[in-house]
Structure 1
Amino acid sequence: MGFSNLLFLWAAILPVIVLLYYFFRKKYKDQPISSTIFWEEVMQETKASPYLKHLQKNALLYLQLLALILFVLALMNPFIKSNQMAGEQLIWIVDTSATMLAGKEESTFEQHKKEMSELISNLNGHPVTIITTGDEPKTVVRQETNVAAIQSAIKGLEVTYEEQQLAKAIDVAQAFIGDMATSIYVFTDSVERGELPIESERIKWVVKGASKELENVAITRFAATAFGDGALALVQLTNESKREKGVQLSLLDHEGNEVAKETILLKAQEEFTKTFENLPLSQGLSANIQVEDDYEADNMMLALLNNNFSQIVVDQQMHQLVQKGFQALTSNVKIAPSDQLKSMSSEAIIVTNQTKLLQQTSAPMVLIGRDDELTKEVNNLVDISDDALFAFSSLEDVYVNAVYPGFDHFETIATIGENPFIQRSSRGDIVILADIQSTDWPLHPSFPLFLWSLQNELVEGTTSLGMFSPNESRAVSLTSGDWSIYSEGDEYIASFTNASQFKAPSKPGFYSVRLNDEQKQFIVQLPSKERTITEGTSFELGSLERNGEEQSSKKSILIWLLIPILVLLVIEWEVQRRRGFTN
């Protein structure tokens, strides 16, 4: 606090003059006389409260002194000095990752939103740009000077549960700097000084970190798979706190029924792993913990029960284009001799032309050609059905000169004239009734896209889309149509028509996509980096100077002195009126 008009300090003599006047004014001596001697009994109440009597007697003095003192302060024009946000413009980078939900009485995210609202009062007309973090950083407002618009943008900020990826947001911020001196505020939970580029002298970094000493117990790993007639699950817990924590762990099936429960006592910084066997089969399982900590988002983890066939084994006799095609999709591809395929069928997807393996193995298969039949020539175009396998691969220009006979009880999803070309068995096997060397299919872009859809269907299964990160955009194997996304509680989330533009919801949980009677499950999982919280710090790097001094603002508080002065004058007038102006 300071004063801009110290010249008026001489006015301090006014309350001194009033005080001296009261010291030297004429005084009277109390003298009891016979006509008033009986008043003493009436005045006992006043005498019982000497301080009140003193205040009543000298009220006018105190009011005048206080009013004059405030008047002197008002003449000197007092102000509150505060550092002004330096620079010609301001950029706010707001972390919207899941760990921003950590906090004791209030989350770090809400604390930062309040800080942003308070900073608005010191903008002084400087433009503000707000950028949120994530895989695709978003510019919420761009060089905005309207305080109401900035305040509205702050209120609309929400946690997206995505990974922080602060470097991407900083790259976006660099595009707005140009030749302008800029103050960049980073509202996050934790960031290292080395992560901020400080080579520019025109940038000042102000980092607002999270509260210290936050406690957290997290589910850091959860996996489940079908095993025989039941399910097998593995759970890993980590206590990041500095003291012992009691944890109630429970496993729930897709319907929300509890299938396992255990009470665990975790020591400080302890990592605990537990395996659950003979669980009932379900489309999915969720691991949940109940614990007193400062971060709840990592207290749940989900898993879809897959078919445990993640590896692809290609018959050594298959054409090189088939082998190379699958190897281009994933590194988990093995080329094996024909006589060893049967022994590998318990742990992999088999790609072969051996028809007998359809009956001898329980593993999903891709049959390309047949070794038990002869081909016949065809002379027609390929006609595909509305099946998810062809969502990204159109076979209209594919030339096929010979096909094998189809299987009687298999579903035909693509034809050449009246002849089956691609079929699906009741258990999900895919059969291509032609040798690759009998077609020009590998020369078309639809060939690797078809293999990708094939792998996606067999690995993930026909009833699920798999696992996604919050707000992840990814092409999925679905037929064209108006698909809708629903939450586990049957709440409508969004719709989409193009399977290549599918975008997962932001909040972790079980979801499903629906089209008429068709439905597929998927889960949105909290990223592993968002399951660990770190102690944050607030700091500043760099400085922007103006005329050799840090920019500052002076906010006058004159109005807050004038109002009480007027109130005191009114009270003083009333006191004087009650006593009588002649006195």
Structure 2
Amino acid sequence: MGMGFTAPIYFLFSAFLLLVILMYFFRKQYEKKAIPSVLLWQEWMNEFEAQAWWKKLQHHLLLYLQLLALLFLIFTLTQPFFQKEGIEGDHLIFIVDSSASMTAKEGDNSRLELAKEKMVQLIDKVDNQEMTLIVAKETPEILTERSLSKKEVLQHVDKLEASYASPNVIDSINMAKSLLGEENGNIQLLSDNFTKEASLELHQNTAFYAHNMGTSHENLAVETFGVAMREDTVVGVVTVKNEGNHSKEFTLSIFNDQEETLKQVSEKVEANKVKTIYLEKLPLAALYRVELKGDKQYLLDNEQYAFLGQQQDPTVYVHKDIHPFARKAVEIASTNVIHLTSHPSEGKKFDGVHLIKGLPKSDWPSGPKLVFLSGVDGEKEVDLSGEITANRSIPLMQSVAMEEVYVEKTFSSEEFSSLDVVAGRGGIPLILSGTYQGDPIIIVTFELGSSDWPLHPGFPLFMFHSIQELTQNRGMLGYFYPGQTMDYFPASDVRKAEILNKDNKVVFTSETFEQPIELPLTPGLYTLRETKDESEEFKTLYIMLEDEEKSIQTEESFTISANPATDQDGESTSSKDISYLFIILALVVLLVEWEVYRRGISN
């Protein structure tokens, strides 16, 4: 803190002080004469001259007051101010990148921890300024807005944790610009790789500071990992990227879903290069995990999972008595269709999807089934009335306009009451789906021959969706990114759904299924546990890093500010004008001078 003057040239007016003093010397003069009546006064003056010097000043008080008032006016013209170290702007907005790369280590601390420390330092220098805190997620999140409380903002900063998803910095900056408008504002971005090449159109009253945390780029990353069936064997491919400036040796370990080591490979990758490793003759497994060893700074990109999914179209067995239009639609939906001319003999196994009509339930084959009821098992025939309704949230009904279908009669059975109703008319099910005797099943409860549905363009789509629904790997939910939501349509007998991490700790639970499931933020393998009336079912999902988060490259910090007194840390020397103080002092002196003059005249 210090004092300065905006216009010191006005100190030249100090010459008027000398002018006042000269005028004082050239004031009206009087001759000295000995007058008896004033001898008493002369005696008094002699005594006065023998007194202390500061008392003599009292006899020139008017002159001193005039000089002091003039001096205060000169100080006012020079526009004096006090300088103070602080953060420029009336409204400060902090934008924090909480992505996965911010968890990379810089010494003993992560980049996110360094960013939090930096914010604490900046907030400490805030002086009665509004503060807003934004987390740069996919959808920017405001934690606090226009707060004047340092304590409140610091509490939010202390609770900040990594979200692992790629940051949406541009939208966060645009949100900050909207909050600032034309006011004198300050945007503080704390990230690790925001480049100055980014297009930023800022208001002239807005200052922008990008603090990019981190300097080290030494990183090995598993860029891609995949497995596939090839001639009855499993093959895999892994690509490893080296972001460092030196070649590095590393070891790859491949595990199955039982965490058994299937293979280990040692390789070397050159600086700033990508190495491709081919894996041959892997043992068969539903799930594979690759782990890279040789990197310590950033561990999240050293592991990746891969599911061994369906590698070809499943075999679809079309049993006899199936409607011709259904046969044709299946041939369009799948390239591997087998038409059966008779019912399979007992003990003969057909692995695939079965289209069944007119076959008693006791003769139904095991495996996924699409069944067209015909009353062969004594199902009751019911006349229909009312409007047809369909559950559009179920994939089976995607682009299938069931409301336009003509159907008057259906077959009803209490045995299928536990299945989910996909479409119905007047409260009577037309299409059911779910699990029956442990196998996926879809049931059409009416005769296609007595309906115009096969003539509708949505019928082939329904057959295609049915094959996809019945052949999907029901134990694998697939790949997701941190913070995503998953549409979840459980069977009617599911009472509770829970997501468990690798340590079998519950990280999400729900007993109502009206909203999509919010998936975990931390990358890794998770299990969805469905609790049913009489059993539990488990499904696997993988939260994986986005490609942008497999790099820890950094950019240089930079500043965009119209204030030349601002440094790279966003701190500036603010000035507070104190001219008004000298104006007030000058007025006070003038009032005192007037009172002295008035008393002198009255005496």
TM-score by structure 1 length? Answer: 0.63
Equivalent in the alignment of 2:157: 154
- The whole-number CA distance in structure 2 between the counterparts of 1:165 and 1:448 is 41
- The whole-number CA distance in structure 2 between the counterparts of 1:93 and 1:442 is 57
State the Cα distance separating 1:506 from its structure 2 match.
0.3
Q: Name the CA shift for 1:152/1:545 in 2 (closer, same or farther; >3 Å).
A: same
State the Cα distance separating 1:86 from its structure 2 match.
1.6
Q: Name the CA shift for 1:460/1:86 in 2 (closer, same or farther; >3 Å).
A: farther
Q: Is the 8 A contact 2:102 2:162 kept in 1?
A: yes
Equivalent in the alignment of 1:471: 483
Do structure 1's residue 534 and structure 2's residue 548 form an aligned pair?
Answer: no
Q: Name the CA shift for 1:180/1:440 in 2 (closer, same or farther; >3 Å).
A: farther
Equivalent in the alignment of 2:50: none
The CA deviation string for residues 265-288 of structure 1, in whole angstroms up to 9 with x for no partner, is 111122122232333333422211
- The whole-number CA distance in structure 2 between the counterparts of 1:364 and 1:528 is 38
Q: Pick the aligned partner of 2:101 from 99, 102, 105.
A: 99
The CA deviation string for residues 192-221 of structure 1, in whole angstroms up to 9 with x for no partner, is 224342242122110001323421110000
State the Cα distance separating 1:440 from its structure 2 match.
8.7
Q: Is the 8 A contact 1:221 1:237 kept in 2?
A: yes
The one-letter amino acid paired with 1:536 is: E
SS in 1 for 2:500: strand
- The whole-number CA distance in structure 2 between the counterparts of 1:545 and 1:318 is 81
Q: Pick the aligned partner of 1:180 from 183, 194, 205.
A: 183
Do structure 1's residue 509 and structure 2's residue 524 form an aligned pair?
Answer: yes
Q: Name the CA shift for 1:515/1:422 in 2 (closer, same or farther; >3 Å).
A: closer
State the Cα distance separating 1:104 from its structure 2 match.
3.0
Which of 85-94 and 334-343 deviates more?
334-343
State the Cα distance separating 1:411 from its structure 2 match.
11
Q: Pick the aligned partner of 1:87 from 86, 89, 92.
A: 89
Do structure 1's residue 164 and structure 2's residue 176 form an aligned pair?
Answer: no
Q: Name the CA shift for 1:252/1:423 in 2 (closer, same or farther; >3 Å).
A: closer
State the Cα distance separating 1:400 from its structure 2 match.
3.9
The one-letter amino acid paired with 1:84 is: G
Q: Is the 8 A contact 2:252 2:265 kept in 1?
A: yes
SS in 1 for 2:124: helix
Q: Is the 8 A contact 1:86 1:545 kept in 2?
A: no
Count of residue pairs the alignment pairs up: 450
Q: Name the CA shift for 1:214/1:436 in 2 (closer, same or farther; >3 Å).
A: farther
* Higher Rg: 2
SS in 1 for 2:301: coil
Where in structure 1 are there 5+ consecutive unaligned residues? Answer: 6-79, 324-333, 344-348, 357-361, 556-583
Equivalent in the alignment of 1:124: 127
State the Cα distance separating 1:363 from its structure 2 match.
14
State the Cα distance separating 1:453 from its structure 2 match.
8.1
Q: Pick the aligned partner of 2:253 from 250, 253, 275.
A: 250
Q: Is the 8 A contact 1:391 1:477 kept in 2?
A: no
- The whole-number CA distance in structure 2 between the counterparts of 1:448 and 1:210 is 55
Q: Is the 8 A contact 1:113 1:154 kept in 2?
A: yes
State the Cα distance separating 1:231 from its structure 2 match.
3.9
SS in 2 for 1:193: coil
- The whole-number CA distance in structure 2 between the counterparts of 1:454 and 1:166 is 42
- The whole-number CA distance in structure 2 between the counterparts of 1:225 and 1:535 is 36
The CA deviation string for residues 475-497 of structure 1, in whole angstroms up to 9 with x for no partner, is 12323632111111101101122
Q: Name the CA shift for 1:342/1:209 in 2 (closer, same or farther; >3 Å).
A: farther
- The whole-number CA distance in structure 2 between the counterparts of 1:135 and 1:455 is 35
Q: Is the 8 A contact 1:412 1:420 kept in 2?
A: no
Q: Is the 8 A contact 1:422 1:433 kept in 2?
A: no
- The whole-number CA distance in structure 1 between the counterparts of 2:140 and 2:367 is 41
- The whole-number CA distance in structure 2 between the counterparts of 1:487 and 1:87 is 45
Superposed, 1:425-464 pairs within 5 Å as: 428=440, 430=442, 432=444, 434=446, 457-458=469-470, 460-464=472-476
The one-letter amino acid paired with 1:379 is: D
SS in 2 for 1:149: helix
Do structure 1's residue 523 and structure 2's residue 542 form an aligned pair?
Answer: yes
The one-letter amino acid paired with 1:484 is: E
Q: Name the CA shift for 1:507/1:450 in 2 (closer, same or farther; >3 Å).
A: farther
Aligned-residue CA RMSD (Å): 5.1
The one-letter amino acid paired with 1:413 is: L
SS in 1 for 2:87: coil
Q: Is the 8 A contact 2:255 2:289 kept in 1?
A: yes
The CA deviation string for residues 354-402 of structure 1, in whole angstroms up to 9 with x for no partner, is 999xxxxx9997748599x9x99642589xxxx9x96997999897435
